[in-house]
């Protein structure tokens, strides 16, 4: 792969890992009795702040999973990340686990959903834990 393709794969690995981290953090907050929106607001501006926390974290709290970037496309990219890693004889445990979670999301029907819907896969693994009480907004196409 060329430098441009590798840069894209690096970006997708970082984005995917961060989406999973935000999903886990918001679910931990909710399961522990804290308001996930308040926790998100409290850590915004600190070292854990990121565009993922700001944009995808808000989508998770609002449970609006209409696609900006579809989960099935992110899974394809994560497969490419792991192919590149194997070609370079690398072990990337966080990227591998992130790929497994996105694969699970696609398997449970979330392939057309936004990447932030990775939260649904994390919740599915931790039933009945859930972030918020809002109904899910999902694509209808």
Q: Any idea which residue has 């794969």 for tokens?
A: 9
Active site residue 8: yes
Give me the long-range contacts of 136-140 (CB less than 8 A, separation at least 24).
Answer: 136/63, 136/65, 137/62, 137/63, 137/64, 137/65, 137/66, 138/65, 138/66, 138/113, 139/65, 139/66, 139/67, 139/112, 139/113
Name the token pair of 20. Answer: 């999973």
Out of 8, 64, 76, 103, pick the active-site residue: 8
Q: What is the DSSP letter of 136?
A: P
Catalytic positions are 8
């Amino acid at each position: 792969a060329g430098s441009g393709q590798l840069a894209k794969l690096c970006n997708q690995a970082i984005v995917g890992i961060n989406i999973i981290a935000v999903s886990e953090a918001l679910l931990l907050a909710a399961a522990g009795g804290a308001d996930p929106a308040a926790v998100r607001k409290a850590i915004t501006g600190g070292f854990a702040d990121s565009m993922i926390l700001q944009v995808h974290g808000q989508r998770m709290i609002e449970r609006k999973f209409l696609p900006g970037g579809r989960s099935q496309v992110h899974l394809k990219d994560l497969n490419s990340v792991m192919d590149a890693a194997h070609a370079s004889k690398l072990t990337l445990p966080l990227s591998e686990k992130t790929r497994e979670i996105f694969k699970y999301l696609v398997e449970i029907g979330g392939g057309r959903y936004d990447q932030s819907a990775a939260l649904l896969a994390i919740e599915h693994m931790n039933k009945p834990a859930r972030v918020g009480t809002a109904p899910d907004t999902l694509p209808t196409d």
